[in-house]
């Protein structure tokens, strides 16, 4: 396994992050535990979850599954860099969502209980809260750090200027601020190259891409549809329709390379500047094994240029749209 510092921090994380969103809604608990064991055995030490994961009928279920896995012992908790998130609505009661000091305190304690641990390595803001000032957020986080309940903070789904705002507010308090940002980033969706990645690099945040296969559309979807293995519906079907020519050209290139589409898409992210660890969210052991194989793929410069030709990227703003 390869490891890297997460942003400017001294924290070492594996180049793949195990996402747990499917644990509970899509993958039963026994299989989820088996996947976590396999990931840990393979050297993945970075696990990501969120308080809302588990589905509308049982928000928090995923954290509970991870907590029961930790409770098995065997130094599972000690070997994992654990990241969870808050922001989403947990109940219909007021103050049970977003980033108020009150919700930070309550949501953190609830996550600690579900996860059966006394601290979170990286406590992440799942979305920007436009109604809570950063002085309030950082004061609440500072209290949690002093209590030993969290070690680091991270963001998710932030714009570039949100990162700047958060870091400047933290600097005024002589506080560390954010060390990571989770954003959607893949060959099909490269908007973060405009401002988010430059801001993250400027302020020392490691990028943690989510949806690296764009919901499976970069995982060989056309071949799977022809073979009757997959049927694409809803928004994914609309996206596939709009990008079918690109995706076909991509699958043809991957065939030429003698690789698997999903593994090349992951490998491409590992070649991108600023990327710390793409999040992989396996529903099965086979999907985890496929993700691990991406670590061994080295893409030549000519291949990277061909991928840029199929899926054009974005220049850093403002040069992307101005002089």
Contact call for residues 51 and 60 (beta carbons, < 8 A): yes
CB-hemisphere CA count at 13 Å for 193?
19
- pLDDT for position 145: 98
- pLDDT for position 136: 98
- pLDDT for position 1: 95
CB-hemisphere CA count at 13 Å for 191?
7
**Do the bridges between strand 178-184 and strand 206-210 make them parallel or antiparallel, or are there none, so unpaired?**
parallel
Respond yes or no: is residue 119 known to be catalytic. Answer: no
3-class state of residue 159 by DSSP = coil
Spans of the chain below 70 pLDDT: none
Residue 224 counted as domain residue: no
- pLDDT for position 57: 84
Contact call for residues 134 and 174 (beta carbons, < 8 A): no
Q: How many CB atoms lie within 10 A of CB 304?
A: 13
Residue 197 counted as domain residue: yes
Q: What is the distance, to the nearest Å, from the Cα of residue 116 to the centroid of all Cα atoms in its chain?
A: 22
Residue 204 counted as domain residue: yes
Contact call for residues 99 and 86 (beta carbons, < 8 A): yes
Contact call for residues 85 and 47 (beta carbons, < 8 A): no
Tell me the whole-structure pTM to 2 decimals.
0.96
Give residues with Cβ within 8 angstroms of 18, minimum separation 6: 35, 36, 39, 44, 46, 47, 48, 279, 280, 281, 282, 288
Q: How many CB atoms lie within 10 A of CB 305?
A: 9
pLDDT in tens, 165-197: 999 999 999 999 999 999 999 999 999 999 999
Distance CA 104, CA 123 (A): 10
Give residues with Cβ within 8 angstroms of 109, minimum separation 6: 149
Residue 275 counted as domain residue: yes
- pLDDT for position 97: 96
3-class state of residue 152 by DSSP = strand
Distance CA 154, CA 230 (A): 35
Residue 256 corresponds to which tokens in the numbers above? 């030429």
Residue 77 counted as domain residue: yes
Give residues with Cβ within 8 angstroms of 23, minimum separation 6: 29, 32, 35, 53, 62, 65, 66
- pLDDT for position 214: 96
Q: What is the CATH number of the domain that holds 12?
A: 3.20.20.100
Residue 130 counted as domain residue: yes
Residues listed for the chain: 323
DSSP H or E stretch at residue 17: strand 17-19
Rg (CA), the chain: 20
Residue 305 counted as domain residue: no
- pLDDT for position 279: 98
- pLDDT for position 235: 82
Instruction: Read off φ and ψ for residue 252, nearest 5 degrees.
Output: -65, -40
| Sign (positive or negative) of CA dihedral 318, 304, 287, 78 | negative
- Domain interval for residue 84: 3-217+263-300
| Sign (positive or negative) of CA dihedral 306, 312, 318, 323 | positive
Which listed residue (3, 53, 87, 321) is catalytic? Answer: 53
Residue 104 counted as domain residue: yes
Tell me which residue has tokens 């050209």: 249
What's the domain count of the chain?
1
Give residues with Cβ within 8 angstroms of 236, minimum separation 6: 215, 216, 217
Q: What is the distance, to the nearest Å, from the Cα of residue 136 to the centroid of all Cα atoms in its chain?
A: 25
Q: How many CB atoms lie within 10 A of CB 218?
A: 25
């Amino acid at each position: 396994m390869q490891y890297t510092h997460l942003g400017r921090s001294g924290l070492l994380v594996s180049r793949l992050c195990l996402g747990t969103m499917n644990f509970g809604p899509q993958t039963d608990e026994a299989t989820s535990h088996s996947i976590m064991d396999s990931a840990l055995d393979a050297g993945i030490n970075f696990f990501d979850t969120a308080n809302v994961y588990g589905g509308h009928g049982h928000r928090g279920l995923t954290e509970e599954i991870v907590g029961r896995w930790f409770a098995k012992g065997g130094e599972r908790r000690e070997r994992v860099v654990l990241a969870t998130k808050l922001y989403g609505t947990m109940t219909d009661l007021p103050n049970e969502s977003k980033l108020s000091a009150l919700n930070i305190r309550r949501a953190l304690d609830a996550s600690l209980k579900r996860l059966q641990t006394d601290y979170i390595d990286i406590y992440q803001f799942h979305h920007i809260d436009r109604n809570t000032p950063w002085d309030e957020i950082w004061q609440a986080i500072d209290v949690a750090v002093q209590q030993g309940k969290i070690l680091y903070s991270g963001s998710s789904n932030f714009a570039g200027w949100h990162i700047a705002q958060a870091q400047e507010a933290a600097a005024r308090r002589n506080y560390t601020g954010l060390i990571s940002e989770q954003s959607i980033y893949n060959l099909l969706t490269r908007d973060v190259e405009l401002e988010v990645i430059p801001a993250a690099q400027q302020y020392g945040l490691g990028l943690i891409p989510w949806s690296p296969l764009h919901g499976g559309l970069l995982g060989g979807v056309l071949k799977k549809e022809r073979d009757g293995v997959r049927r694409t519906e809803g928004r994914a079907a609309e996206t596939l329709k709009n990008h079918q020519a690109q995706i076909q050209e991509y699958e043809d290139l991957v065939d030429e390379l003698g690789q698997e589409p999903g593994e090349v898409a992951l490998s491409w992210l590992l070649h991108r500047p600023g990327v710390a660890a793409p999040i992989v969210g396996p529903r099965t052991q086979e999907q985890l094994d496929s993700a691990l194989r991406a670590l061994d793929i080295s893409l030549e410069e000519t291949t990277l240029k061909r991928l840029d030709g199929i899926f054009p990227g974005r220049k850093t703003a403002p040069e992307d749209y101005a002089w």
